[in-house]
Structure 1
Amino acid sequence: MAISRQNDRRGIVIAAVIVICWTGLLLYLLTSFEVSFASPLTYLFILLQTHLYTGLFITAHDAMHAVVAPGKPKLNKAIGTVTAFLFAYNWYARLLPKHHQHHRHVATEQDPDYHRGSFWPWYFSFLKNYITWWQIVLMAITYNVLQLFFSLENVVLFWMLPAILATFQLFYFGTYLPHRGEHPEDNPHKSTTQSKNHVWAFISCYFFGYHYEHHDKPYLPWWQLYKAKG
């Protein structure tokens, strides 16, 4: 039996799973994991926590399209606010208009995500548009508080570093690769898409390498985006 869009709770459950996994793994890594640079587990956990950080932002992004809790705008906004805040204190209300501006004016001068240039200038332009001074202050305060209770090594490797790496993951796969270069006039979304490979598409950036498909069908949540890939 088909689930009506307004009664579809799958997005809420998936968002909860991401938040619980991110929180639970972070607590374990801060309190119980002994870092060894000779152990592959250390690097595996860094990558896994990075992926979960990216999942927080992707969830906030889906909330901007009202697809986390369809038909429940207050809950949808609450989930978006929480997941954005957990990702380095991003403020959902500030991100929301910028993201819709990106969709309306994709790859133009009015697009806050777009920059005519190579990777690094574009990346720093991207950060400048989205990072505020109060975020930096809150991150600095949190860093100094966490190191009072947990190993400095664990705080840096599993709280700070994955957040930084996740910005690269989101930018590279979700902005730079799909929007770089010139796009033909018959491409209304000025976006490319990665080759069909659902496993890599999920691992790389929660299917957002299928970026033309996202711009073409922004009503699809990340976990259904693969269905739009021909």
Structure 2
Amino acid sequence: MAKNRRKDYRGVAIAAAVVTLWTGLLAYLLQWPVNFLSPLTYVFILLQTHLYTGLFITAHDSMHGVVAPGHPKLNRAIGTVTAFLFAYNWYPRLLPRHHQHHRHVATEHDPDYHTGSFWPWYLNFLKQYITWWQILLMAITFNVLKVFFPLENVILFWMLPAILATFQLFYFGTYLPHRGEHPEENPHKSRTQAKNHLWAFVSCYFFGYHYEHHDKPYLPWWQLYKAKG
């Protein structure tokens, strides 16, 4: 079994597909003639948002060692690249925080958890994961991109999807699963979406199946649906 895991490059291929799709679509959309009356504009925003979320989900899977199992250096490299592409997140900073979340889920020691209502929790979530140097790098990148591409394209297809993806990750991957009280027989203090694989993928790469993720963190996102009873 260990030998088969060392040869399993499916996660690498899927990660490469996510990065390629995100990069290719962004390159196309930065030059695409925006028409606010066209439904395609809003479809492209949502699609790019979904791919942004895919970057972070890939980095997340890397934190669990399941992007390139048996190849820790490659696994970490992929996590570092995909985290960095998502608004310049720094993988070495994210890694210990995420494992702290799994060890102390929904407690005062959980960096993702907050006892307040939705908006205070969301702001606290942003504060945990956004640093001043990320904002600086985003500002520099924004000013460079607008020299070469139309301002509205940069805002609609590079900046806005990153913001929406952050909201998507928080809402489906943190707030809905962990809000409120959890019964003592729920060891992971996590809720889960009703079984609907299409919606689970579209909403957040199956991470609405959140109890299943905490119960089986060794499953990559693209196999998580198998854990749903």
TM-score (norm. length: structure 2): 0.99
| 1:25 is aligned to 2:59 | no
Structure 1 counterpart of 2:162: 163
| 1:7 is aligned to 2:40 | no
What is the deviation of 1:6? 1.6
Structure 2 counterpart of 1:87: 86
What is the deviation of 1:105? 0.1
Partners of 2:122 and 2:38 lie apart in 1 by: 31
- AA partner of residue 87 (structure 1): F
Identity %: 82
Other structure's SS at 1:82 match: helix
Q: Runs of 4+ in structure 1 displaced over 3 angstroms? A: none
Structure 1 counterpart of 2:205: 206
Other structure's SS at 2:28 match: helix
* Aligned ranges 1:130-145 → 2 under 5 Å: 130-145=129-144
Other structure's SS at 2:194 match: coil
Post-superposition Cα deviations, 1:75-114, rounded to whole Å, max 9, x if no partner, equal 0000000000000000000000000000000000000000
What is the deviation of 1:219? 0.1
What is the deviation of 1:5? 1.6
Post-superposition Cα deviations, 1:107-147, rounded to whole Å, max 9, x if no partner, equal 00000000001110000000001100000000000000000
* Structure 1, unpaired ranges of 5+: none
Partners of 2:52 and 2:5 lie apart in 1 by: 27
What is the deviation of 1:4? 1.6
- AA partner of residue 106 (structure 1): V
Post-superposition Cα deviations, 1:155-190, rounded to whole Å, max 9, x if no partner, equal 000000000000010000000000000000110000
Other structure's SS at 2:30 match: helix
Partners of 2:178 and 2:56 lie apart in 1 by: 19
What is the deviation of 1:7? 1.0
- AA partner of residue 81 (structure 1): T
Structure 1 counterpart of 2:175: 176
- AA partner of residue 46 (structure 1): I
* Aligned ranges 1:35-54 → 2 under 5 Å: 35-54=34-53
- AA partner of residue 63 (structure 1): S
Partners of 1:175 and 1:90 lie apart in 2 by: 18
Partners of 1:118 and 1:200 lie apart in 2 by: 25
Partners of 1:80 and 1:35 lie apart in 2 by: 32
* Structure 2, unpaired ranges of 5+: none
Partners of 2:220 and 2:113 lie apart in 1 by: 23
Matched residue count: 228
TM-score (norm. length: structure 1): 0.98
Structure 2 counterpart of 1:118: 117
Other structure's SS at 1:204 match: helix
Partners of 1:7 and 1:174 lie apart in 2 by: 30
Post-superposition Cα deviations, 1:36-72, rounded to whole Å, max 9, x if no partner, equal 1100000000000000000000000000000000000
